[in-house]
Amino acid sequence: MVENLQLLLVEDDLDLATAVIDYLELEGIQCDHAANGVSGYHLIENNRYDVVVLDLNLPKMNGLEVCERIRAKGIDVAILMLTACDTLDDKLTGFAKGADDYLVKPFAMEELIVRAQVLSRRRSGQVRKLKVADLELDLQEKTAVRANQTIKLSPIGIKILECLLRESPNIVSRDKLMQTVWGDEWPDSNALKVHMFNLRKSVDANAPHKLIHTIKGHGFALK
């Protein structure tokens, strides 16, 4: 069983959706369902999922458009695209829009589980921007903007901000931040404190609402 895995299935074939949801529940996987692209898009916007299983052909908004829109908003959930067409062009188009993996119908439930498990271990690498409130980080350009004003950050500050944005609104422990930024070769104990001070000053100093919070005894959260 896979505990605490949160999935969203966006599929308009109700018989298939029911079969998938029933099977996932037997494996201990929680699964929400949307029957069209618009409903799926709104669920992704307002909830945090480990994986989205997204059908390509959907009413109201197709899977490619759903994928493209959530990536444009900086949502980095992993996306497993379902398609009835096993062609290279379809897959390349999907990857260009932000899909992480493909599964061709009809598929074995066991393969769906395995692929979802693999994808759930990471946030998507397809996302190009991360955004919370009026703060946005461009991962390609390595630049940050808040309220349409460019923020000057060091390379270490960018790494810390990316980690906090990817986990938002969850708490990130001090150890996880250290591991993400410096790997196995940690600097002295004051280094993170100094970088967090500078990051706060850059992100929150001139803003009416603070986004970076210290959770005493647990770590930091951006929300």
- pLDDT number for residue 74: 76
- C-alpha–C-alpha distance, residues 110 and 98, integer Å: 24
At residue 76, what is the residue type? D
Q: Which of 106, 29, 97 is nearest to 62 (CA)?
A: 97
pLDDT of residue 87: 67
Question: Rounded to two decimals, what is the model's pTM?
Answer: 0.59
**Domains located in the chain, CATH noted:** 6-120 (3.40.50.2300), 129-222 (1.10.10.10)
Query: Of the candidates 22, 27, 20, 21, which has an alpha carbon nearest to the alpha carbon of residue 3?
Result: 27
pLDDT tens for the chain, 223 residues: list them: 445 678 999 999 999 999 999 999 888 888 999 999 999 999 998 888 889 999 988 999 998 999 888 887 778 788 898 888 766 777 677 777 778 888 888 889 999 888 888 887 765 555 677 888 888 888 778 889 898 889 988 888 888 998 898 888 888 888 888 888 888 788 776 888 888 888 999 999 878 889 999 888 888 999 8
pLDDT at 2 (0 to 100): 47
Query: Residue with structure tokens 């591991």?
Result: 179
